[in-house]
Amino acid sequence: MESSNTSPETNPPHQQTALSFEAAVEKYHARIFQLVFRYLGNYDEAGDLTQETFIRAYRAWDKFRGDSQVYTWLYRIALNLCHNQQKKLSRRQRTEGISLDIPQDKSSGEETAQPTEIPDNSAVPWRDLERRELNRQLFAALQDLPENYRTVILLRDIEGLSYEEIAEVTSSTLEAIKSRLFRARNLLRQRLSIYVTGNAASGKKHS
C-alpha cells in the first residue's frame, strides 16, 4: 500500500456529511474491527487499533466533509494504523496461535487455566470440519502475504469494495490495484493449493 505524506485522517474529503459520528461508530465499528483483525491476525491489537481509528476519526470529524464515503475514509485511517503496527507485530505473529494445551504452573505442576474447548470430531459433520479448516488455512495464508497484497485481497474479496474505492483507500491507481489483486490472488491460490488438493482426497474417505 502506497503511503502519502499527509495522514488520511487530517486530510478528509470536501462535502459535509449528514451522518453523525455516533452513527458512524455504530454502523462501521464491526467492519473496521474485522478488517484490522484480518490484517493483523491479533485479536487484542485489532481491538486497540479499532479504538484508535475512531479516536482519530473523532478528532478530525469536524473537518470531514464526505467527498468520499465515510467507510472509505475510516478504512484509510485503519489501514494506516495497521501499516505502522505491522512491523511491531511481525515477529509475534509467526509464533502466536491458539494453544490446545492446558497452561501449566511450572513451579507446582498444577493447571492454571481451563483448556480450550475443542468440539468432538465424531459429532461434527466432515464437511463442517473441512470448511473450518479451510478458513483457518485461508486466514494463515492471508497473514503470510506481503502487506500490499493482503490489503487488496481484504478490501476486494472480503470487504467487497470496488476497484475505485480500493484505489481511493490506498492512494493507488486503478491499474496498480488490478495488477496487485491479480498477483495476490495467484499467490494465495498457490499457498492454498496443497491443502485443497490434499483435503479433497481426504474428504473422499469420509464421504
Q: What is the pLDDT of residues 125-156, one digit of tens each?
A: 556 666 777 778 888 888 889 999 999 999 99
Query: What number of helices (H) and strands (E) belong to the chain?
Result: 7, 0
Structural domain including 130 reads: 124-207
Rounded CA-CA distance 31/183 in Å is: 25
* CA-closest candidate to residue 61, choices 92, 115, 98, 24: 24
The mean pLDDT of 94-114, rounded to a whole number, is 46
For the cut 90, the answer to whether the pLDDT of residue 170 exceeds it is yes
Note the pLDDT tens digit of each residue in 2-60: 444 445 454 444 443 457 889 999 999 999 999 999 998 889 999 999 999 999 999 99
**Is 136 found in the same domain as 84?**
no
Rounded to an integer, what distance in angstroms lies between the CA atom of residue 72 and that of residue 66? 10
Examine the domain organization and report whether 145 and 85 are in the same domain: no
Residue 90 sits in the same domain as residue 128: no
Question: pLDDT at position 109, please?
Answer: 46
pLDDT, residue 191, reads: 85
Is 196's pLDDT higher than 90? no
88 versus 173: the higher-pLDDT residue is 173
Alpha-carbon distances, residue 193 vs 141, 157, 197 (angstroms): 11, 18, 6
Q: How many domains, the chain?
A: 2
CA-only gyration radius of the chain, Å = 20
Q: How confident is the model at residue 121 (pLDDT cuts 50, 70, 90)?
A: very low
Examine the domain organization and report whether 30 and 85 are in the same domain.
Answer: yes
| pLDDT on residue 18 | 54
Residues 85, 162: one domain? no
Contact 68, 75 (CB under 8 A): no
Cα–Cα distance, 159 to 174 (Å, whole number):
17
pLDDT on residue 35:
94
